[in-house]
Amino acid sequence: MPRKAVVHEQDYAVSEGPVRLTVVVGDRQYGSSMVFLDDAPLSNGDIDELPIGGPEIAGKTATVYTIVTDVSDATDNLSVTWMLSGGRKRSLATESAPASKKFGSQMFKGIFHFRQ
Amino acid sequence: MTGLRRAGLLVLALAVPRVTAGQDDQRSGDAVSIRLEDFRLSGTPASALLGTSAASVTRPNTPRALIASLISATGSSGLVPNGYSLETAPFWLSSHPMLQIRDYYNASLGDRLKYFTAFSVATSRPSSRSDSVHPDARVSIAVRTLLLNGRPSVALNATADSMRTLQLSYIDKYRQWEIARAGATRLASQRQRLARQEDLLSTLVTKITIAPDRELRDSAMHTLARRDSLRSVVASSESAQGDATSLEKQLDNFDDRLANLAESFSERDAEPDGIILEVALGTRAVFAEGEWARERADGFGVWITPMYRMSAQHLEIIGVARYIARAVDFDHQDLFDLGARAGFEIGKAGFSGEWVTRTVRESSSDNSSRWAALFDYPLPAKFHLVASFGSDFRAVDGRRPVIATIGINLGLGAVMLVPGNKVPK
């Protein structure tokens, strides 16, 4: 059975401008992401300043799946930081977890509910 | 080049011809130690300063693990432990959630010093003899860093691309698994409800058979409809559960494949292309009778190891400049080695040639040089066929041992960078 995902869930207030998402896979580990707005896929791979939408996305939910694999000899720590901008204020959230085994992988799931 | 640099060398001598043609005669019984890794610090610089090869090196990556290791090493006896070896990089003792992998190869000098600087400690204390006091112990402390760390090799980029593809497939399967698992979560309760409806229907049918009644018949019809609906729901959930089980197996398989790719990534990450410059220095002290309180300085060492690698062209050049004061394996004389090795690969086979000149500070007559041609061929099960031929450093008695060996590298143990091939007086 896959290891339980590390989940981060929050609301984000949109504004007039476009909301942008950046996903940082930290601790010098290797990770890939997939972003969905409700069930529609938006992007995958490295997520850097991805435009999600303007005020019209209020009421929708972005789900970001990021799988991080331990490739570092220096640390076993795995971390993901989600950065949202373009709304009423910038948002930055980080979650981390140790690798379950050497060269192990961990799923991170960011859930962002957009509201007015 | 991997085989030529593989740490951990145990050469089983299949045949060791003691070639003497064109060389000074060789003393019978002198074991010539061939150290293919002499050019690079395969172990910690602290261990190299002691001329030891610790069975294991503790590499704590959290403050708690570091403190626990140091406390266990110092102990309560007041004596220096034997065979302790530790290496730690202060930067990596804490988490760095904003440090992305792509930042690593484009780092400034200041950032490289943070990322790559590691401190090491090693101790050595021979076992005490029953008729003597505690023997003296040696402790070394060293630091090493990379001033230049090259660029990702083609092989590393290819591995990264494979990982990216597999990780995206993993996420895709994971989403399917989430949906399937959600559909299967209420299967048990749905089965219970279905069983209740089946029982109720059976009871109603029995009653209708004995005493036909309109209300009972209507109730049976409603129950029959609910039973059929529940059967459909349970069948759907059972299908989802089957899908979830199948997807779990696929995810486990993906996880294993990702782990294999990550290991390959880690190995290739340690061998970047371009210019790599490693610098290490350390100092060593003697502790009389092994007591922490009775310390005196006892030499130091400096290593400068420039490398240039073009993996696509299967070419690698390594230089070495090292100064070791009071070298343990060289009658505590000061040594300065300067040399280079060039290696290339043809198919799986690796070939390299090396030349090193050694200056002995106290005795210029002991100045010498070494050259060698080396061959490495990977065998199954990560074994390596290795062979070498050449002329080693001049011994203290003036003779020059011949290097001539063929063997199998079993990939065990660790080989330290020390001034090797010392023939005792």
Q: What is the pLDDT of residue B131?
A: 52
> What is the enclosing helix (H) or strand (E) of B377?
strand B368-378
Q: If you average pLDDT over residues B26-50, what whole number do you get? A: 57
Q: What is the pLDDT of residue B13?
A: 32
What amino acid occupies position B214? R
Higher pLDDT, B134 or B318: B318
Q: What is the pLDDT of residue B2?
A: 41
Distance from CA of A57 to the nearest CA of B (A): 22
Domain ranges of chain A: 6-115
Higher pLDDT, B135 or B99: B99
Q: In this structure, which CATH number among 3.30.70, 2.60.40, 1.10.3470, 2.60.60 belongs to the domain A6-115?
A: 2.60.60
Check CB contact under 8 Å for A65 and B171: yes
**Residue B109, pLDDT above cutoff 80:** yes
Instruction: Indicate the residue of B100, B164, B172 with minimum beta-carbon distance to A26.
Output: B100
Q: What is the pLDDT of residue B412?
A: 57
**Residue B14, pLDDT above cutoff 70:** no
Which residue of B145, B146, B171 to mutate against A (max A Cβ within 10 Å)? B171
Q: What is the pLDDT of residue B133?
A: 66
**Residue B18, pLDDT above cutoff 60:** no
Which residue of A65, A78, A101 to mutate against B (max B Cβ within 10 Å)? A65
Chain centre distance of CA A26:
12
pLDDT band at B241 (very low <50, low <70, confident <90, very high): confident
Chain centre distance of CA B127:
30
CB B377 within 8 A of CB B385: yes
CA distance B213 to B197: 19
CA distance B352 to A91: 55
- Residues from chain A contacting residue B266 (CB–CB below 8 Å): 71-73, 103
**Residue B164, pLDDT above cutoff 60:** yes
> What integer best gives the mean pLDDT of chain B?
81
Higher pLDDT, B276 or B53: B276
The per-residue pLDDT for range A91-110, each reduced to its tens digit, is: 999 999 999 899 999 999 99
- Residues from chain A contacting residue B101 (CB–CB below 8 Å): 25, 28-30, 71
The per-residue pLDDT for range B263-281, each reduced to its tens digit, is: 999 999 988 999 999 999 9
74-113 of A, contacting B, C-beta below 8 A:
74-77, 79-81, 94, 96, 101-105, 107
Give the CA dihedral B32, B36, B40, B43, nearest 10 degrees: -70
**Residue B110, pLDDT above cutoff 90:** yes
Q: What is the pLDDT of residue B134?
A: 73
The per-residue pLDDT for range A46-88, each reduced to its tens digit, is: 999 999 999 999 999 999 999 999 999 889 999 999 999 999 9
Q: What is the pLDDT of residue B30?
A: 31
Instruction: Report residue B126 as tokens.
Output: 């021979």
With H, G, I as helix, E, B as strand and everything else as coil, classify residue B249.
helix
| pTM, full prediction | 0.78
79-118 of B, contacting A, C-beta below 8 A:
89, 91-92, 95-101, 103-104, 115
The per-residue pLDDT for range B315-372, each reduced to its tens digit, is: 999 999 999 888 766 677 888 999 999 999 888 899 999 999 988 887 777 788 889 9
DSSP strands (E only) in B44-165: 85-88, 118-124, 137-151
Which long-range contacts does B131-134 make (Cβ < 8 Å, 24+ apart)?
B133/B289, B134/B79, B134/B289, B134/B290, B134/B291
Q: What is the pLDDT of residue B160?
A: 97
Q: Which of B85-94, B149-158, B225-234, B285-294 has the lowest mean pLDDT?
A: B285-294
DSSP string of B6-40?
-S---EEEEE-----TTS----TTPPPPP-TTTTS
| For the ranges B145-154, B181-190, B366-375, the one whose mean pLDDT is highest | B145-154
Instruction: Indicate the residue of A32, A74, A96 with minimum beta-carbon distance to B167.
Output: A32
The per-residue pLDDT for range B189-209, each reduced to its tens digit, is: 889 999 999 999 999 999 888
pLDDT band at B152 (very low <50, low <70, confident <90, very high): very high
Q: B194: left (phi > 0), else alpha (psi -120 to 50), else beta? A: alpha
Check CB contact under 8 Å for A45 and B168: yes
> What integer best gives the mean pLDDT of chain A?
95
Chain centre distance of CA A71:
20
> What is the enclosing helix (H) or strand (E) of B42?
none
223-252 of B, contacting A, C-beta below 8 A:
248, 251-252
With H, G, I as helix, E, B as strand and everything else as coil, classify residue B255.
helix
Q: Taking CA atoms, what residue in A is nearest to B264?
A: A71
Distance from CA of B424 to the nearest CA of A (A): 39
CA distance B316 to B307: 7
**Residue B81, pLDDT above cutoff 60:** yes
Give the CA dihedral B378, B380, B382, B383, nearest 10 degrees: -70
| CB-based burial label for B77 (10 Å; 0-12, 13-18, 19+) | exposed
Q: What is the pLDDT of residue A71?
A: 96
With H, G, I as helix, E, B as strand and everything else as coil, classify residue B168.
helix
